[in-house]
Amino acid sequence: DTAVSQTPKYLVTQMGNDKSIKCEQNLGHDTMYWYKQDSKKFLKIMFSYNNKELIINETVPNRFSPKSPDKAHLNLHINSLELGDSAVYFCASSRMDRTYTEAFFGQGTRLTVV
Amino acid sequence: SQQGEEDPQALSIQEGENATMNCSYKTSINNLQWYRQNSGRGLVHLILIRSNEREKHSGRLRVTLDTSKKSSSLLITASRAADTASYFCATDSNYQLIWGAGTKLIIKP
């Protein structure tokens, strides 16, 4: 059973398109995240959702928007894709118990904008 | 913001040797976590050490935490080829998990 699953695994698209990446967790966690890992392997948090409320919103372009239909899902929508958006995007989840417990990651979505 | 910094950025050792990686951070923390990332895969949690702990063991892993120096080290003993991966530290601080840039570990057969 996959704990955190995200789709698609690979996404190649043209500049200017709008795309979505889906994420689902079956761990019953109350917090989900989206991370971006660039070519230098820096892992940067983009969004964090706790109980369907955005609690951290890093300074990412507003072309990126998280959508959480329920506690088990956090999808990432990207509008007007740019070349610089090419990266690997990871979804993760954890349980928030006063402090953060271990985070479980999806396998990543490699986005290539051409 | 990038708080943690791993050192070294890359490490290449012979199978069977011990590997030590370090992580430094800037602000006070609740806990510090180490993760492993195999090429092209997601991160996998290895070990969590709380701010009131100084050392923790898990199998061949040993983690130390020095809050006075704001640093942590991850020791992998008797390394194996399967340990080849990137290792990241993450600090739980101010309701965020803040990540370092990672250490790339290569185990040579």
| pLDDT tens by residue, B30-87 | 899 999 999 888 899 999 999 999 999 999 999 999 999 999 999 999 999 999 999 9
Answer yes or no: do B43 and A42 touch at CB < 8 A. no
Lowest mean pLDDT of A36-45, A77-86, B64-73, name the range: A36-45
Residue carrying the six token digits 């698209």? A13
Residue A87 or A42, more confident: A87
Strands (E), B1-109: 5-7, 10-14, 19-24, 31-37, 43-50, 55-58, 61-66, 71-76, 85-93, 96-99, 103-108
Closest to A59 measured CA to CA, from A47, A71, A74: A47
Q: One-letter amino acid identity for A69? A: P
Q: Report which of A77, A65, A74, A89 is spatially closest to residue A27, judged by C-alpha positions.
A: A74
Give the pLDDT of residue A78. 96
Contact criterion met (CB < 8 Å) for A102 and B2: no
At A5, which helix (H) or strand (E)?
strand A4-7
pLDDT score at B2 = 40
Distance from CA of A45 to the nearest CA of B (A): 8
Burial of B28 (0-12, 13-18, 19+ CB in 10 A): exposed
- Extract the tokens encoding A96: 């928030």
- Facing B42 at nearest CB: one of A55, A98, A105: A105
Question: A98: which chain B residues are within 8 Å (Cβ-Cβ)?
Answer: 30
CA B40, B44, B47, B52 dihedral sign is: positive
* Contact (CB<8Å) A56/B96: yes
